[in-house]
Structures are given as C-alpha cells and as structure tokens.
Amino acid sequence: MKNRKLTQLGHAVRQPTSPDRAKLESVPNPHPGDDYLIRFTAPEFTTLCPITGQPDFAHFVLDFVPGKAILESKSFKLYLASFRNAAGFHEDVTLTIGKRVAGVIKPKFLRIAGYWYPRGGIPIDIFWQTGKLPSGVSLPDTGVASYRGRG
C-alpha cells in the first residue's frame, strides 16, 4: 500500500463542521501478514436527536481486523466529533460510522457496537459487522455492561 500523506496527524486542524466534511485517513498496516484485532473505544460520543434537537449520547466500541490499512486515530476522533452538531437516529448514526470506516480501510472484519444512553427511558444498543473474523483472532467482549447507568 502506498504511504499517503496525512493531512491531520501532526497538524493543527479544525473540527469538521459535519460528518460529510470530515476526512477519515488510513495508514499502511505495519503487519499485513498477521491477523490481529484493533479496538477503538469512544465513551463520550454526542449527536443530536433529529426530532427534538436534544443531545443524544453513546458509547462506541469499534473492533476491526485490518487488511492493508489501519485507521488513523486522530482522523477518527475528528470524524466522531463532527457529529456533535449533526442530527440522526441512533441506528443511522451507528451504521453510518461503521460503513464509512469499513469503506476507508477495507478491513477483513469490522464490528461496531453503539451503546446509546436512554431516550424516552429506553437505552438502545446497535451492533453492525462486516467481513469474517479470521480463525485464531480473538474478539473480546465489548466491555460495556447492560444498561445500569452505563457507569
């Protein structure tokens, strides 16, 4: 894989104004001959309810087995932050994030778990995955308990 010039890591950049304007970047997998799992955890995600405009909060766990590329973490952080003033239903936001990441890095396997804090008294948990987990790769539990204050 060709080493692309990173435009965010190591540079002062502004938070993207929307998910569509956010740029997700990747870097070459330093161990392309090995199958291993990478986990990103974002316990303080925020977006807006598309109906009320009130803030919605989620705890995301993103697990993937890289192919030729790995996700550059600063670009992922900025991408997630770009949802702060965007509106979307939990299901749409969770799958949009998972599919966008998968499209950028083309992993062998990817799973996103979105644990949404209660809206109307009901917590909503959304899971999406693509690809097949390679044999011999351990997929640990997400580590997020069933709702009891998510603490």
Q: Which of 37, 76, 49 is nearest to 60 (CA)?
A: 76
- Give the pairing of strands 38-48 and 55-65: antiparallel
* CA dihedral of residues 27, 5, 129, 113 (deg, nearest 10): 90
Note if 56 is an active site residue. Answer: yes
Distant-in-sequence, close-in-space partners of 92: CB < 8 Å, separation ≥ 6: none
Q: Catalytic residue among 20, 34, 35, 56, which? A: 56
Strand partners, 125: 115
Q: Catalytic residue among 20, 49, 92, 125, which? A: 49
Q: Is the dihedral of CA 26, 132, 62, 46 positive or negative?
A: positive
Note if 49 is an active site residue. Answer: yes
Catalytic residues: 49, 56
